[in-house]
A and B are shown apart, each in its own frame.
Chain A
Amino acid sequence: MLNIIELFLKNLVVFVSITVQILYLLKKTRLKKLFSVIFLLFFSLVQAQETFTLNGVIKDASNNETLYGVNILVTNLNSGVVSNEYGFYSIKLPKGSHNILISYLGYKEQNFSINITENSTYNFSLEETSETLEEVLVTSDSQATNIRAPEMSVNRLDISTIQKLPVVFGEVDVVKSLLLLPGVSNAGEGSSGFNVRGGAVDQNLILLDEATIYNSSHLFGLFSVFNPDAIKNLKLYKGGIPAKYGGRVSSVLDIFQKDGNSKEFKANGGIGIISSRLLAEGPIVKDKGSFLVGGRSSYAHLFLKLTDNENTAYFYDLNTKLSYRLDNSNTILFSGYFGRDVFNINESFKNTYGNAVLNLRWNHVLTDNIFTNLSVIYSDYYYGLTLDFVEFNWNSGIKNLNLKYDFSQYINENISLDYGMQNTYYEFNPGEIEPSTPTSGIRDYELTKKYAFESALYISAEHHISDNFTAEYGIRFSNFFRLGQEELKLYNNDQAVVFNNDFKIYEKAEPIGFKTLEKSKVEKYFKALEPRIALAYSFNDNQSVKLSYNRMNQYLHLITNTSSPTPLDIWAPSGKYIDPQVLDQIAVGYFENIKNGEYSFEVESFYKKIKNRVSYIDGANLIANNAIEQVILPGKARAYGLEVLFKKNTGNFTGWFAYTLSKSEQKTPGRTALETGINNGTWYNTAYDKTHDISITASYELSDKWQLNSNFNYQTGLPTTYPNAQYTFEDLVIPVYSARNSERLPAYHRLDFSTTYTPSKNKTRNYKSSWNFGIYNVYGRKNAVSLSFRNNDDTGRNEAVRLSIFGIIPSVTYNFKF
């Protein structure tokens, strides 16, 4: 731990000195002007008019929560900006009087006339429309597709939308909601994580208040780790990923927690059939500081009615946040997350795992048009197991310490810049084993710990080139330092896997020596330039075409060879034997808003390819393996597809239709002409490839009291492998399998229904409540999670067995707030 701190401090010193120099330069007015002039010349868009900056923060009037993605339109100039994730906006305006229109989904529009004679700060508070539903017709078009922005392949979900969707057991779930969007799927019911555009689960960067979450599932994928009450909103980037993000090749899921109500004390919660929730928030100093603390826990014993014994299985999580607004240009935010899954079977099997995150941020408005955020983040994933009957304890995990400094600079009404640097120090614990009793035959054993440091610099510009043409372009320079470790195994020709030509199988190579290097030294260095570009051309206010390209590098690999990751899978850093994954993705799309945003239509097509995707040799044992390099081979992956999204955004009846046509494949060719590769070196379907995926989601506001929600899913069955022969060896019946993933499970389909009842007495009292009644899988389809083949012990005959998890599941949830 001391070493982490030391390394971190070293890095911090360098970083702070660079930052101080930049700040010093910027603060010196003369140079600041020069700085701006350089940028202006660079983009050759100098305007010979005196301009001033209007900036500020946009908040919810009822609780002072900052609002992300609010449109600030200057109607007389036909230009505008959007508030950032901390609610901040900044816009350059010529001297004079301007009409400002502020609009945001679910909030009343505001219209202002402002006379600008100097740099000014205006903070706006928006009122929610839902509280005065009768009078106001919702016309906000934020839910409609953003036509002019180059941003594409992005889905934004508001927590209120997520809360309406019918879900299994009535438990509102962020990740399960994402599965209803085009391009997002998972490896079947009860599998953990999610797959984006044919990518693997470990290729998603999941950020909770900017901190990385390594495992997004509770109870092996039945629920996600995010407490919906504590979440403000989320954004999923499937493509065209801005230079600000890096480190994973498939997608970015950026989740923002609420800051807490700084106006008045509020509490809300819910009681469901699986878990209960309670969240409290309120001011520390009115209008300046606030706290939020939210907890969620499932009921113990619920899952283990198996026996009469003291068995427990439950999960819980805790979300906390403190925020304090020092003045107009400084805000301090502190947030934390702690979640655990706990299993205890008869005191002889104990299993605990989960994420922990701590995050301290400082928002600072450096100059009128430069917003900065400095974050120090600690995040940790822990997996612990005690097996008393075989007398040992086991634990593994990953820890990281992250320092980020991000800048947003609004240069003029046409150009804004994002730039910054991000540094992460990792410690990987692949596993420690120790005897749990004094008489145990198990020896203390520690798999070699690994260390790495990741650093990135990025800059990107959003550039309005003309009225119809907008571009976002940038570059990320990423660096990865695999640091020294104890006893790194060395092999002949650096080949940790050898091919046995007699038996045509891959085998572990025998190490020829070891290398021990201090962890302050660099064992292997990787660097990469990652260009990102997105272009939007709008024909008019309602139609546009967009194009994007991005390259990304992923330096961490989740070591797993099951269809869906398990909680005990470990993360491995790139190094001497594992190269970073490199992605190239291109996407094109057509976007249209119909009838003034009442409907929207999006169609996108993508192609991506990934280098150095790790694949596993046949029979690889990954558990407690201290030399993972001996069982992996580098492969390739590719995916392509078409996504259609048609939404109805306004009125009593809302919802969407999403369709995805796609293909996701993998290939591991032999390294030489002699080697066979995996699956004979040919392309094969990934375990999560789905040709067709249709989701229909509908919500109907019947009256003030009743709301009806429904969704329907249809998906091609997942790829699987069938046997084509059998034989007997030493009394075991062995199936002979055909080519990998060449068959399919039966198609998956399901209909869900739910209704929300809000009593009318709510209007007249402070205590508000609602009931949610749901039915998951209404027609009781027995969807196959897997088809397995086995020899029946009793009959001695071979049989095919379909495993299905959920039948019809009714649920009821009671929600309240006061």
Chain B
Amino acid sequence: MADPVASAKAVTKRFAKDGPAALDRIDLVVETGRMTGLVGPDGAGKTTMIRILAGLIEPDAGEVMVLGHPALETDRAEIGYMPQRFGLYEDLTVRENLDLYADLRGLTGEARQASFDRLLDFTDLKRFETRLAGQLSGGMKQKLGLACALLKQPELLLLDEPSVGVDPVSRRELWSMVKALIGEGVGVLWSTAYLDEAERCDAVYLLHEGKVLFSGAPADLSSRVDGRVFRAPVEPDQRRALLRRVLDGKLVLDGVIQGDSVRLLMKEGKPDADVLGKLAASARPVRPRFEDAFVEILGGGPPGTSTLAETYATVPDSDTPSIVADGLTKTFGAFTAADDIRFEVRRGQIFGLLGPNGAGKSTTFKMLCGLLTPTSGAGSVAGFDLREAKADARQSLGYMAQKFSLYGDLSVRQNLDFFSGIYGLGGAKRKRAIDQAVEIFHLQPYLQKNAALMPLGFKQRLALACAVLHQPPVLFLDEPTSGVDPIVRREFWTHINGLVERGVTVLVTTHFMEEAEYCDRILLIYRAREIAQGSPDALKRRARDAGAGDDPTLEDAFAVLLQSADRSEGREPRQAA
């Protein structure tokens, strides 16, 4: 048994006197040489817990010991802490940020230079030493933040959601950097909303609404659902309908789409294959994941039929593609952000834009929804040309941004009123649209509350509600479910799948491979250019052929395709574990 570098006993914290507990009698131990995961959706209490360990917040009750002292009195020179927003000064250069934190931590002389060399090499930031931190891409900022926390090898490293907003490849790099420290005897607490990261930790604390739902080795949790998880390949155009049917039935607890297959978690008691009916022939049992077990603890996913889709007008059939990008190019001065991007999305399809941070997928996305004017090339949305019929194109699309970008200081009701108004709804039609949205998304209890004060899951529901009030034939989604718990994510995709069955076309950008699996087709953008296009399974096949193992995940495919693009253009491939 390793030594605990930090421990918490029965820690409780409330921010409002009579409000709900942000942390409710939490016990937690971080041990030397182990990766301890603090897992849970936004609002579960992860940040509060980490701040308490860092000595920045005093808990209301409970005992917190860090490096053998009460947390508030610990020598902070021995703690590395990376807050959610990195704590970087955006108007200082990479080197100046490192200098500042080295001085603050009292790192001098040769040790300092050695540490700089090691970290700059480690993070591959050597080339950018004189660049302002504000001009680094998201992944590079993350690495610099980590470097600042690691300058003086700490005994305890606290990382608050280091992988948020970072592309899968950078996320792997970050993970392997931290993993290397474990070997050197550092105790690490890594907080994350990604359940696949949790799976790779040595020990996990699963937080939900301020309580620990599970603690122990991740495999212990997954084993709860051993033998109940199956994957079944389906005809591509049948997957959504099939998932809807099985989720509405009584036998399946949870299900998601994985490329050309559906992944199902069966209810307890009847784990045998015959309940799968027609699917039985092709369904294969698969190893359960942490997420399967988490959903099981929470009582299973939502039913398969979307109440939203039932109220939605069917989008008429049409031969013209719903979204067209015809050689879209965008340059900023000498810099090309997107280069000759081409694709078409037919009515009733989900199309995914994937790529590393700064590759150009956001630029492409913004050109198509009218936020950026292309330097050259053309595009259309719902048959309306982006240059000539801008206003009509906008009227035909619903937009949901990555960050919550509704009006947080207005009430839910006022947000709904506003968005129905700016899409030109009026009278009885408007009233009906709002009433339906309130009912479908269970917004009634929050109607008069400020939108910013709702839990993340409800914010995300409201954002979708506002995007579809005017029943647009095309939906643009920018990392729509980042940070929410798996139940809310499933509910969200149930609605999207339902809408797609009604003929709605969806364009989605994401770093989140679970979301990418729902796509019919994916475009992978790297260094402003297309490097691959095809269905998720087609990309996985390409990766397998390139040597990514027998059953590569979409994330593996992502990494391998990027590497081979690097190789074919004669660059040193990005390191990825």
**Chains A and B bind each other:** no
Chain B residues at the A interface, C-beta cutoff of 8 Å: none
